[in-house]
């Protein structure tokens, strides 16, 4: 039974990675169109809040997990410079070879490593910050991944998560948002990427994911103390920042 479940998990994870390989070349364009560019502000706010909580002017390493095309690393560097903060090393980790190819072509200041969130290819207590934007719900072994984040973080280090968490949608505005996520997003994303199934997966994966409260509880159980939680744009996106105890 245990072996069967493990095999199912591995197959599901491999299917998700293959899907991201397929849409890698159009991923950035689809993101900008679908979010109308507002996801950039969500990412920058995550970086700024982490710097504020850490309160340091010099950091050794920022590790971005499920880095995709490396977008968040760009904002880590930009916001660090704006805040007068020096970061010695930037590392991006992703299991998708296709995504990493795009990342390496546009981000020349970071090291990119093929790897999984639940098996991070970085040393113990090597990172001041571990970030993951819109990727944690794609990690099948999420609990193991959070434990890995704790292992790889320095004492007092931060995990910064941006994600589409599951919401209770009751009002008229909520229903409009829900309609857009389930009907408009797959069509637009599918048109840009020529892969409708990949963008149909997005709203489906959100429905199957955790609420913000449930994710915060999992972080606490993995050895973190919650420091900050904020939802953006009518609850579409959520920022969670937690500190290693």
Can you spell out the DSSP letters for the chain?
A: -HHHHHHHHHHHHHHHHHHHHHHGGGHHHHHHHHHTTHHHHHHHHHHHHHHHHH--SEEEEEEEET-TTSHHHHHHHHHHHHTT-EEEEEEEEES-HHHHHHHHHH--SSEEEE-BTTB-SS-TT-EEEEEEES-GGG-SSHHHHHHHHHHHEEEEEEEEEEE-------SHHHHHHHHIIIIIHHHHHHHHHT-HHHHHHHHHHHHTS--HHHHHHHHHHTTEEEEEEEEETTTTEEEEEEEE-
Q: At 228, list the tokens.
A: 């900050």
At 31-89, the pLDDT tens digits run 665 555 688 899 999 999 999 999 999 999 999 999 999 999 999 999 999 999 999 99
Q: Report the 10 Å Cβ neighbour count for 27.
A: 22
- pLDDT at site 9: 73
User: Given this model, what pLDDT does residue 2 score?
Assistant: 47
pLDDT for res 85? 98
Residues of the chain with pLDDT under 70: 1-7, 20-37, 166-209, 233-235
- pLDDT (0 to 100) of residue 149: 98
In this structure, is the dihedral angle defined by the CA atoms of residues 13, 19, 22 and 25, taken in order, positive or negative? negative
Q: Can you give the pLDDT at residue 164?
A: 80
Strand partners, 62: 90, 129
pLDDT at residue number 18: 75
Q: How many CB atoms lie within 10 A of CB 221?
A: 11
CB under 8 Å, gap of 24 or more: what pairs does 72-75 form? 72/43, 72/46, 72/47, 72/131, 72/133, 73/103, 73/107, 73/109, 73/110, 74/107, 75/40, 75/43, 75/44, 75/47
Q: Report all structural domains of the chain as residue ranges with CATH numbers, in order of start.
A: 2-244 (3.40.50.150)
pLDDT of residue 140: 85
Please give the mean pLDDT across all residues of the chain: 83
d(CA 68, CA 70): 5
Check residue 165 and give its pLDDT: 75
Residue 11's Cβ-count burial label (10 Å; 0-12, 13-18, 19+) is exposed
Q: Are 57 and 85 in contact (CB under 8 A)?
A: yes
Measured CA distances, 30 to 63, 82, 182, 190 (Å): 24, 27, 16, 9
């Amino acid at each position: 039974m245990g072996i069967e479940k493990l095999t199912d998990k591995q197959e599901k994870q491999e299917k998700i990675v293959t899907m991201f390989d397929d849409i890698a070349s159009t991923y950035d364009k689809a993101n900008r169109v679908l979010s109308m560019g507002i996801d950039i502000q969500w990412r920058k706010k995550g970086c700024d809040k982490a710097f504020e909580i850490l309160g340091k002017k010099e950091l050794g390493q920022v590790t971005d997990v499920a880095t995709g095309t490396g977008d968040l690393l760009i904002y880590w560097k930009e916001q660090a410079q704006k805040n007068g903060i020096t970061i010695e090393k930037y590392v991006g980790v992703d299991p998708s070879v296709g995504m990493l190819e795009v990342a390496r072509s546009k981000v020349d200041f970071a090291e990119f490593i093929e790897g999984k969130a639940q098996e991070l290819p970085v040393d113990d207590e090597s990172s001041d910050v571990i970030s993951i934007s819109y990727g944690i719900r794609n990690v099948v072994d999420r609990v193991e991944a959070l434990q890995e984040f704790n292992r790889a973080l320095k004492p007092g280090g931060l995990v910064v998560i941006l994600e589409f968490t599951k919401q209770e949608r009751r009002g008229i505005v909520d229903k409009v948002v829900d309609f857009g996520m389930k009907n408009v997003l797959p069509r637009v994303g599918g048109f840009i990427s020529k892969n409708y199934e990949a963008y149909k997966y997005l709203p489906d994966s959100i429905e199957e994911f955790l609420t913000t409260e449930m994710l915060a509880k999992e972080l606490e159980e993995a050895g973190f103390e919650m420091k900050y939680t904020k939802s953006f744009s009518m609850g579409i996106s959520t920022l969670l920042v937690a500190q290693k105890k």
